[in-house]
Amino acid sequence: MPKQRTKGKPVLAAVLVLALLPLVALARPAPPFETQTDLSTIEQSALPDACPLSKQAKTPAASCSGGCVTPQSPGEMHIADLTGEVSIDPYGNYLLVAYVVVHDQDHAPLEQVEVDASVWWPNGGPARRARMTHPNGSARFHWGSHVAGRWKLCVDLLTGEGYLYDPGAGEVASCAEWSN
């Protein structure tokens, strides 16, 4: 078996290491300098406030990037209507279909509001459900049962961007019951 030649390989490795040493030295952080320049004594001129508060604002603006934004107080939302009906589906089961309508403080329908509700059916409950309102402000809840009896749906919470839920401002109660 012929012997492998290693002539020149250790020399090549040593040359490579020596060539990389200056690069390693450059990668080290530079020591801190203790010298002062005359620039540190220059007084900086006072810049005008880029985002002054509006006289009507009660809280400072959250962000001043791109100009000032006067904080807006959130609108109020409430339950405008809560209706439902118990019927029998094609398979002979009882089915509750309930609609919750959500309005703003000006009585305009609100879409994309999450309606969290609890549902009781003749032989069980509560079960928590969440639905989103449509452009007409209504959210549809449905629940089935094999037995007849009393049904109940209570709206627990309304969540919508830019609005707060005021349960006391509703035009109807937050709970409704049906029997079949």
Model pLDDT, residue 170: 80
**Residue 69 lies inside a defined structural domain of this protein:** no
Residue 71: DSSP 8-state: P
Task: Classify residue 81 by burial, with Cβ atoms within 10 Å: 0-12, 13-18, 19+.
Answer: middle
pTM metric for this prediction: 0.61
**Residue 11 lies inside a defined structural domain of this protein:** no
Here the CATH number for the domain that contains residue 163 is 2.60.40
Q: What is the pLDDT of residues 75-133, one digit of tens each?
A: 999 999 999 999 999 999 999 999 999 999 999 999 999 999 999 999 999 999 999 99
Helices (H), the chain: 9-27
Q: What is the pLDDT of residues 115-130, one digit of tens each?
A: 999 999 999 999 999 9
Residue 41's H or E segment, with its range, is none
Structural domain range at position 120: 79-179
Domain count, the chain: 1
Model pLDDT, residue 168: 83
**Residue 124 lies inside a defined structural domain of this protein:** yes
